[in-house]
Amino acid sequence: MEPFSYHAFVCTQEKAEGVPCCATAGSFSVLGALHGALGKQGLADEVQVSSCGCLGICDSGPVMVVYPEGIWYTKLTPADVPEVVASHFKDGKKVARLERSDSAEMKAEMFDHHNKYLAMLKGKDAAGVLPDDVNEMIRGFMPSRAVLTALELDVFTAVGKGGTAQQVAGKIQAAVRATEMLLNALVSLNLLEKRDGVYSNTAVSARFLAEGTPDTARAAQLHIANVWKRWSTLTEAVKAGSSVVQRNEDGWVKTFIAAMDHTARGRARAVAHAAGVKGAKRQLDHGGGSGAN
């Protein structure tokens, strides 16, 4: 007996720049829309949603496979999701216009994709190219730096319910072109959405990264921006055998307290929720504390 009526796998595989994949085709937005639509239809407990790696038909992304029937939906957009939820998950009728059912062709495409992938790995190895995972490790700071800069400039609050690059740049008092590049980077990190030149927060960034919400973590995460400055001098610190950073005590202490306060509050809320203490979250949000977050 299955614990759920349906199990939907959404491919969120990311690949090197220029290589087609579901992530760049928008699968994270589809995933977000799916969770939202299932919640709205009261089906969140009936449909298990899992993100997954490459399903082998990358040119048809974003791809979602639904079991038990094994229906392959391809080239999905967030706008398609409410129809899939209402028709397939609620009424049990697949959405034929979004289904890819040419199984033989799909299988051939998957094999071809797999063989090309193996050939590429072999070719790279023979050519002495740095392995992808090591390359990614070395560049791993880039997404983090983009988010920290956005937090320092309070970009998510400035984006609010939506704005163009020019409007956001005006609010954070920054150069328009550079702001646009940062906003685009945040879109690729799935922390903003962009439609017709207008940027808006995702559910996660609106809740956790913008100011003025009960769960905002911005002030606390600014501590990590301070930690970043120290980590950036690691080379010199290793040579010298001690820290080489003159730290700004005021800024450091303020963000450190905010981070500790946020962590303690989060743990207390989690414990209170687990114990079913009614009103605990509200009390922790408004009842005393340092107010640092």
Residues that bind ligand FES (CB under 6 A): 11, 13, 21-22, 54-58, 61, 63
CA dihedral 283, 286, 288, 293 (to 10 degrees): 120
Minimum distance from residue 63 beta carbon to ligand FES (Å): 5
Q: Specify the residue, 13 or 202, whose C-beta has the smaller distance to ligand FES.
A: 13
Beta strands in 160-270 (DSSP E): 192-195, 198-201
Q: Which of 67, 63, 87 is nearest to 75 (CA)?
A: 63
Minimum distance from residue 35 beta carbon to ligand FES (Å): 18
Residue 159 CB burial class (10 angstroms; 0-12, 13-18, ≥19): buried
Q: Specify the residue, 65 or 165, whose C-beta has the smaller distance to ligand FES.
A: 65
Minimum distance from residue 49 beta carbon to ligand FES (Å): 15
Minimum distance from residue 51 beta carbon to ligand FES (Å): 10
Q: Specify the residue, 56 or 163, whose C-beta has the smaller distance to ligand FES.
A: 56
Q: Specify the residue, 21 or 186, whose C-beta has the smaller distance to ligand FES.
A: 21
Q: Specify the residue, 11 or 146, whose C-beta has the smaller distance to ligand FES.
A: 11
Q: Which of 72, 7, 27 is nearest to 190 (CA)?
A: 27
Minimum distance from residue 158 beta carbon to ligand FES (Å): 33
